[in-house]
Structure 1
Amino acid sequence: LHLGALGMPLDLLAQSRSLRDKTPLLVAYQERIGTQQAAIDELYGLLGRQRTCLLCFEADLRQCHRLIVAERLHAQWNVEAHHL
């Protein structure tokens, strides 16, 4: 299942490819994710019904927008993410 509302917006994604340090983009993403509560709620609802994975392709998980989603789940519902 792909929750597009939680994805990196195309304008930010295009910028991220040319940056080594993605911190400014992650800050911008964090601001945008604040408007996506319905998608966060949908993701949380899936956690109790099926195995759920946030797939990340970043070499450094601290540079991945999915970490922000995981942190949001933790802050709201104490969901623990396991980084493989």
Structure 2
Amino acid sequence: MDANMVVSTAGVVIALAALGLTVHQARLTRAHNRLSVRPVLDFEETFQPEQRAGLRLRNVGLGPAEIISGRIWLDGREREEPSPQR
């Protein structure tokens, strides 16, 4: 093997490694971008003796969240949906 063959083989190996790393990095970037705009729901409850209890559901992520359904249980029984207070 002469020097030209070694240099050209090393160049091909380096180019293929760079291509593989670029493809891998592109996949990681796409996965990160998908996760960064995902909705993240935060459920918070408050209860203090002798006061009303409260429930809060907030979207703290960047993407839109769609609430499909919800149920509330109190003392082992499911509560009906309350009428809106005005």
TM-score by length of 2: 0.24
Larger-gyration structure (1/2) = 2
The structure with more strand, counted as a fraction of residues: 2
The structure with more helix, counted as a fraction of residues: 1
TM-score by length of 1: 0.24
